[in-house]
Amino acid sequence: FGPEYVRAIAPYQAGKPISEVAREFGLDEESIVKLASNENPFGVPESAQRAMARAVAELGRYPDANGYDLKQALAKRYDVPTEWITLGNGSNDILEIAAHAFVEQGQAVVYSQYSFAVYALATQGVGARHIVVPAKNHGHDLDAMADAIDADTRLVFIANPNNPTGTFVTGAEIEAFLAKVPANVVVVLDEAYNEFLSHEDQYESAEWVRKYPNLLVSRTFSKAYGLAGLRVGFALAQPGLTDLMNRIRQPFNVNSLAQAAAIAALNDSEFLEKSAANNAAGYRQFVEAFEQMGLEYVPSHGNFVLVKVGNDLAAGARVNLALLKQGVIVRPVGNYGLPEWLRISIGLPQENAVLITALQKALAEDR
Ligand code: PMP
């Protein structure tokens, strides 16, 4: 069945759930440490839990199809009109809606080597051609990406910070890129990990949305806000883009609990600060350990680190298995073309310590 371009898609590989690993390796679920999906180790903020408890009584009704209250809160936060906001069932939904809204079969989409897997899926899902630009130091080579845009190109995906490598391009570099992109090419700036950036690295992408009618900034509540399981993300863009996105979007794509929780989380600056501080400390904990172990890693601006665990093409898979046997779930990235590496999410200090010990053991046995 189906078109050839759908049959050609390699499905997304998500992290193994705790229950499956527990059963497969004969482990106690409680003892398992999952550092595989760049989730917030503090879980759901209490403010969001309380908001959801209140919203449960209304679950007999459909969610607000236009997300009025959440859009009001976001419009205030980013100082844009509510018409400039599109809500998504996670930001993956935003990425997919963008591909459907702006690209047709046979046209082209530009993105970087080693960038987020969903860019390839969204591109192939609409039967478009992908132009994958070689990475520079594991990150985006924006000059090469600008050069790669051809007459068929309608969309560019940029992840900043990037997943799975954690690399970052500066605000000045992005602005220079935006100035070069043709007006008929939509740029999706995917800022899923933006809240983990240091103050010095922060830039004002909402300002660029005002300046560039072809720019769409994508954000998520899955990472720093701790709501991955609820699936809520959003896009900021001018009405020329949001109007088309809203025609494609499923009317009830963000459920009522997610809308209520997202508003609470957005206003919970204490939780966000706690998460960012834990992340910065956890990053230092990992980096110190990797340096002591003599492991190469890619300096990260996200809530995860890409670390090289061997020199042969089976190293990542082998060390991943050795970690699973010890009850630690991380993310092999062979599907990204990085088979010697593992991507490890930053957890609580104790979880990070468990990972470090397990990794030392796995590598000692791997010699
Ligand atoms: N963009 C990037 C760069 C990501 O790493 C992720 C999560 N893996 C997403 C988007 C999608 O996250 P969500 O759909 O949970 O918002």
Same domain, 15 and 78: no
Mean of per-residue pLDDT scores for the chain:
97
Query: Per-residue pLDDT for 173 more than 90?
Result: yes
Question: Within this chain, do residues 196 and 260 fall inside the same structural domain, yes or no?
Answer: yes
Res. 367: pLDDT tops 80: no
**Which domain-ending residue is among 234, 267, 300?**
267
In this structure, what CATH number is given to the domain that contains residue 199? Answer: 3.40.640.10
Amino acid code (one letter) for 27: L
pLDDT in tens, 293-339: 999 999 999 999 999 999 999 999 999 999 999 999 999 999 999 99
Average pLDDT over residues 209-213: 97
| Residue 149 CB contacts under 8 Å (≥ 6 apart), including other chains | 110, 131, 156, 181, 182, 185
Nearest atom in ligand 1 to 233's CA = 16
Mark whether 244 and 95 lie in a shared domain.
Answer: yes
Q: What is the pLDDT of residue 220?
A: 98
Same structural domain for residues 352 and 318? yes
CA 186 to chain centre: 19
For residue 163 and ligand 1, the question of a CB distance below 6 A is answered with: yes
Query: Are 308 and 247 members of one domain?
Result: no
Q: Quick check: 281 pLDDT over 80?
A: yes
Q: For residue 322, what is the domain's CATH number?
A: 3.90.1150.10
Q: In angstroms, what is the span from residue 77 Cα to ligand 1's centroid? A: 21
Number of domains in the chain: 2
Cβ of 167 closer than 6 Å to ligand 1, yes or no, is: no
- Locate tokens 């018409």: which residue? 83
Q: Is the CB of 91 under 6 A from ligand 1?
A: yes
Please report which confidence band the pLDDT of residue 361 belongs to, taking 50, 70 and 90 as the band edges: very high
Distance from Cα 162 to the centre of ligand 1, integer Å: 10
Q: Report helix, strand or coil for 136.
A: strand
159 lines ligand 1 (CB under 6 A): yes
Centroid of ligand 1 to alpha carbon of 97 (angstroms)? 14
pLDDT recorded at residue 263: 98
Q: Label residue 13 by pLDDT band (50, 70, 90).
A: confident
C-alpha closest to that of 219 among 111, 84, 126: 84
What range does the domain containing 160 cover?
46-267
- The pLDDT score that the predictor gives to residue 16 is 84
Q: Read off the pLDDT of residues 28-41 as tens digits, 9 standing for 90 and up.
A: 999 999 999 999 99
Same domain, 283 and 246: no
With a CB cutoff of 8 Å and minimum separation 6, the contacts of 37 are: 14, 15, 228, 331, 345
61-87, pLDDT tens digit by residue?
A: 999 999 999 999 999 999 999 999 999
Please tell me the distance from the alpha carbon of residue 256 to that of residue 262, in angstroms, as a whole number. Answer: 10
195 is written with which tokens?
A: 């809240």
Residue nearest to atom 1 of ligand 1 (CA): 192
Ligand 1 centre distance from Cα of residue 191 (Å): 9
pLDDT-based confidence at 272, cuts 50/70/90?
very high
Residue 203's SS3 state is coil
Q: Within this chain, do residues 300 and 198 fall inside the same structural domain, yes or no?
A: no
Query: Stretch 132-153: mean pLDDT, rounded?
Result: 98
For residues 14-28, average pLDDT: 91
Going by C-beta distance under 8 Å and a sequence separation of 6 or more, which residues neighbour residue 175?
208
Confidence of residue 12 (pLDDT cuts 50, 70, 90): confident
Query: Do residues 193 and 164 touch, judged by C-beta distance below 8 A?
Result: no
For the whole model, what pTM was predicted?
Answer: 0.97
H or E stretch at 240: helix 239-248
Amino acid at 316: G
Instruction: Give the C-alpha distances (Å, rounded to integers) separating 351 from 308, 354, 355.
Output: 20, 5, 6
Per-residue pLDDT tens over the stretch 88-111: 999 999 999 999 999 999 999 999
Is the Cβ–Cβ distance between 357 and 35 less than 8 Å? no
Report, as an integer, the average pLDDT of 187-201. Answer: 97
Q: End of a domain among 267, 282, 301?
A: 267
Q: Is the ipTM of this complex over 0.95?
A: yes
Same domain, 212 and 340: no
Confidence tier at 257 by pLDDT (50, 70, 90):
very high
CB of 92 within 6 A of ligand 1: the answer is yes
Using DSSP, state whether 74 is helix, strand or coil.
Answer: helix
CA–centroid distance, 63 to ligand 1, in Å, is 23
Q: What's the whole-number mean pLDDT along residues 265-292?
A: 98
Do residues 241 and 154 share a domain?
A: yes
Q: Are 99 and 111 in contact (CB under 8 A)?
A: no
* pLDDT given at position 14: 80
Give the number of other CB atoms < 10 A from CB of residue 36.
24
Q: How far apart are CA 134 and CA 93, in angstroms?
A: 26
Q: Is the CB of 191 under 6 A from ligand 1?
A: no
CA 361 to centroid of ligand 1, rounded, Å = 31
Residues 345 and 334: their CA atoms lie apart, in Å, by 16
Amino acid at 170: T
275 C-beta closer than 6 A to ligand 1: no
Which residues, other chains included, contact 347 with Cβ-Cβ below 8 Å and sequence gap of 6+? Answer: 33, 35, 41, 282, 355
Q: What is the reported pLDDT for 18? A: 94
Does one domain contain both 224 and 146? yes
Tell me: do 192 and 247 sit in the same domain: yes
Confidence category of residue 250, pLDDT binned at 50, 70, 90:
very high
- 11 pLDDT band, cuts 50/70/90, is confident
Q: Which of 200, 234, 267 is the last residue of a domain?
A: 267
242 and 140: one domain? yes
Amino acid at 66: N
195 lines ligand 1 (CB under 6 A): no
Percent residues over pLDDT 90 in the chain: 97
Residue whose tokens read 């009001």 = 72
Give mean pLDDT, residues 165-175: 98
